[in-house]
Structures are given as structure tokens and as C-alpha cells.
Structure 1
């Protein structure tokens, strides 16, 4: 009996979510594990070690001091397996003025995985993506009608997210280093991108870390309100397929590597009868596989490589190759 791609993906998502969120507790039970010396551990400057600083940030106590391109969130408390995500590293490196000795190996790791897998981790590994898929299944089971965001609105949302996460947040991260700013502002701006990320709330709730709100410092209040709104966006996957994945900073970074050079979807243009099943089943509500009429390789920046187009095609006109070898 042939195993369905959707079954393999769900199984891998479930196992990955368990390890990412609870692996530190299941495997190591509080015992510290260490990586190769090539991966340095980022340390806060002395002034940032004040008892009053970074109250809004969970402590580092995960077994592997490793930053990965999916939502391996530090708010998974002591149960999580990894230190944090790649976007977290960007913010922290700016605020702590880390040198290339610190972030260089992580950059090479990110580039290596991104070039090989593209956004595969979004579709098969990321816990936040898995939660959105569960909500999508609930919607289908309950008969709730799905909503499709107009292409123009989706582009506006994506480009707005790019400006916020890759211009505004880095600027705020740099502002943390400006000693002339009041301490309360610098404290509030630390890891601004993490403070608005829904993984902060979701990972904390799933692993027992308290989700707190400092009502006495306006900066925290503003960020927390934005965070709740974006968490609502994840919950909105009950109506809109994987909307958070369209504006996620990790996904945006990986989208530039979704080129189909290593992991690629190939379309047999002669077999395709233009039925539109691939477009109707696309998790990200795109029709790039359907629309392609000239090129054999059908990859797109928004594609999370769920391979629903491959599984659903009645003519078997779409296949997946990895390093030139067919895998699906």
C-alpha cells in the first residue's frame, strides 16, 4: 500500500513539534548538551545582565544552543530543544554587538539548510505551521467556509511585514545599544520582533511558561497588543489558510531560496490537462503550478513544499525531485 504524502507530512510535523517544544525535557530532562566549539554561545554584555533588564524575555535553558530557521522559540521554556530561531539571532546580534565569530557559523548553517531545503521546514517541521494546519482541518470538518485574501492585499501584507521585520525591528534592536536613551525604552525595545511574534504566546502556553504583560511600561503594552493581534492571525487560520506563514520573518528569509535548484517540483506540461485541482488544493492559496505553461520547474517564494499539488494531481503531472532524484 502506497503511503500518502499528506500522512507522512502530518506524522513528521507531529514528531517535530514534540521534539522542538518538549525535546529538552523528554531527552535531556534538564541536563545540558553542548554543540561543537564552532558554534559560539551568545553572551549578553554586562550592562544587559541587570536584574531589571529583559524581564520580558524567557531565560536561556534549552539543551542545544542552536538557532534554526523555523520557530524553535526560546519561549518553549526549559522543555524546548533549541535556543531560538534565526530571526531571534539577528535581533540579538545587533543589540549585543556580536561579531562574526558568534553569528558566522549560524549564518553558514542557515544558508546551507536554506539552499538545500528552501521553505520545506515551513511545511514539514515548524510547530506554528502545524498548528495552523490543525485549524485548517477543523475548519473542513466543521464545514466553515474558507476565506481567500485577494492577491493585492496579500502582497501588501507581505511587503509591510518585510518593512517591519527587516527595517523597523533591526533599527529598534540597534536603539537598544544607544546609552543616551532612557533605560525603560531600551529594555522595552530588546527583541522587539520576538515581542510581537505569535510563537511567543503559543510556545509559552504549550509549555507552561507564563505569558505576562507589564502594564507599567507603555512600550511593553504596545508590543504585547501587536503580539496578541498576530496570534489572532494564527488563530485566523481557521478561516484563512496559513496566513501567518505569508508574513513570518523566518518564512520571508527562506522564500528567497525557494528556487527549485535542489528540492524541486517538476511539472510534465504534456500531461497537464489544466483541470485546476492543484490550485484548489494549494495550502498557500497560490496557483503558480497551474499557471506555469513553459517551465518544467514550478517553484514559488510562497510555496511551503507541502506537496499537496503533487498528491492531488489526477494526471500525476507533478513530481518532486531532490538532488535530481525523484522522491514523490
Structure 2
């Protein structure tokens, strides 16, 4: 279905964006970026007990996941996607926003310090939603690279059943809730310190980024299995890293359960970026469903419930945004019908399907 000779301008533009942001986010410090102090975004420091504990671990040479490399990155800001905290030598940003949530809850950070960072997240997330996942995220780029390797070898991707896709959605909600609850536990003094220190920054302890980015950014960490709490998170992180590697066979596996993606999905509908479908031009060829990396059916099924004799009474351009959509716009790039699918930003058309 995908022909190499056919030009796909949106896909080409997206690949350029992914490569550019991957280099900037992961290796930005190599280009001479210096530490920036932004007065509107206050620096958040660890409470005394966590600071002393992390210093103790550093002195012992135990560079486990909760220790972290400090924050020498150029910007003390948190992107909506995986701008990993372990990119000490090369990274541009402090960490991802899920790290921020987990850390601020665990440290009981005052609201006056939290709100400016939350406001920045909202400013970045509201206009674009999960476009961050499809066009910017380094982990998304790694998964797409694995998918490209599979295609180069002439292997077909594996499709998931509706039951498995639903299970993945359940896992994503479970992960998000677990991260928040564990962060709360790490903040409550009534719980024993032995437990609190082990569940601190659970998002970073179980994220596949802890296996990947430290080796890109020059700060390898020790994957400790002792004591028990660290062992559980190291095991989960190993499983999730293997899960991400399965993107070689199943497109965008990690994106299906990613907590950051789940948070961004809240802004996928009703934002400034919208995807629309002219239902009268749709021939139900199924190409949109076939090329979607997450097998979202909403674009394809939008017309299925409409009766022929009522079509002219309905609004032709129907919003087809979906919370799981990563806005890669492959459906638009591959749709063969002129103007059937389109993308609008602030109600201004920026992309539209066309015959190939």
C-alpha cells in the first residue's frame, strides 16, 4: 500500500521534525547551550531528607535510578514528552512533565513554585495535544526508527485485536494512577522512610528511558535489584524497555501505554489543532486505518452510521479528533480523495488529502 515512488510531503516533514528535535533534546548541550535561569520558572530543590539521601548514595557510588545526575541541563523546564532527566552530559531540558508531577507530589512542593511550570505545560499542551508524541518525542522517534528497520527488511507489522488494544488502554490508566499514588506515599511522613525512599520518583524508576538515555547522555546508572522496592521497579523498567523494543513488530507499542501520552490526550479534543473529515467524499477504502500506527478506527468509521438519505442534512466536515491519535497525519498523507481529510489550526487549513 505504501509506495516508495509516491511523495508523502507530510510524512517527510514529520521525519525532519523528529530528527531535529531528537538531536536538540538529547544532544543540545553539545552545541554550546549554557545554563539558563528563567525567572518565571522557579528552580525546585529537593527537601532536606531526600537531598541528604541522594547525596549519600552518590558518595557510595550507587548511581541508581532515584539518585539522578543533578540538573546541569540548559533549561530547568519540563517538556510534555520524554526529555529525560538522565541526559546529564548532553540533554537540553531538565526532565519530562510526568517526572515533574511525581517529584512535586513526593516533595510536597509549594503551589507558588508548581503553578508556573503547570502553566507552561498547559500552554504547550492545549494547542497541540499529542502532536508532541508524533512529531517531537525522542521515544516516538526511536519506535518509528525500529518500524523503518522492519520495513527495510520486508517484514509485515503485527496488528492488535480490539481486545488487546483495550487492555493496553487499561494499562496506561493503571500506570498513571499508580505513579500518582506512589508519589503521594513518598510524601507522607506517616509511612516509614524505608518505604518512601524506595517508591520516590516511581515514573523514572520504571520508565524505559532509564535504560536508553543514560547511555546516550554519558551518565550510565546502576540497575539495582536490592532492596526489594528497587528490584520491582528495575524489573518493570526492563519489561517496559522490551515492550518499547517490540515496536519493531508492533507500531508504537510504548505510545499505547505511555503515561505522558495519556496526560496529553486530555487536550486532543477541543484544542487549537483539529482534524476533520468530509463524509461525502469518503469511499471507505480503508487506507486511513491501514496506515495508522496506533490502529485508530475513528477516521475510518466516522461515516459508517450515516444513512444515505440523510447525508445532505448533516454537516459534511466532521471533527475526527481522538484521544489516542498522535497527530502523525499519515491518514491525510495517504488518503487518495481530494479534500476528504484535512487538518486545521485556529480554523485555518494547513494540510489536506489529495490524489496520489
- Normalising by structure 2, we get a TM-score of 0.86
Matched, 1:92 2:70: no
Aligned length: 324
| CA displacement at 1:213 relative to structure 2 | 1.9
- Distance (whole Å) between structure 1 residues aligned to residue 56 and residue 198 of structure 2: 11
Matched, 1:250 2:260: yes
- Normalising by structure 1, we get a TM-score of 0.93
| CA displacement at 1:180 relative to structure 2 | 5.0
Computing the radius of gyration over CA atoms, which structure comes out larger, 1 or 2? 2
Contact 1:279 1:287 in 2 (8 A): yes
- Distance (whole Å) between structure 2 residues aligned to residue 70 and residue 141 of structure 1: 28
Give the corresponding residue for 2:169: 158
Give the corresponding residue for 1:311: 333
Contact 1:53 1:187 in 2 (8 A): no
Give the corresponding residue for 2:122: 111
Structure 2 segments unaligned to the other structure (5+ residues): 1-6, 59-63, 307-316, 352-356
Matched, 1:320 2:320: no
Q: 2:318 aligns with which of 296, 300, 307?
A: 296
Compute the RMSD of aligned alpha carbons.
1.8
Contact 1:24 1:78 in 2 (8 A): yes
Matched, 1:145 2:156: yes
- Distance (whole Å) between structure 1 residues aligned to residue 169 and residue 219 of structure 2: 30
- Distance (whole Å) between structure 1 residues aligned to residue 277 and residue 293 of structure 2: 18
| CA displacement at 1:270 relative to structure 2 | 1.6
Cα 1:215–1:265 change in 2 (3 A) is closer
Cα deviation 1:41-72 (Å, max 9, x = unaligned): 11111111112358533222111000110111
Give the corresponding residue for 2:142: 131
| CA displacement at 1:110 relative to structure 2 | 1.6
Q: 2:17 aligns with which of 12, 17, 30?
A: 12
- Distance (whole Å) between structure 2 residues aligned to residue 179 and residue 106 of structure 1: 25
| CA displacement at 1:131 relative to structure 2 | 0.5
- Distance (whole Å) between structure 1 residues aligned to residue 32 and residue 256 of structure 2: 33
Give the corresponding residue for 1:211: 221
Matched, 1:73 2:77: no
Cα deviation 1:180-212 (Å, max 9, x = unaligned): 544443222110111111112111122222131
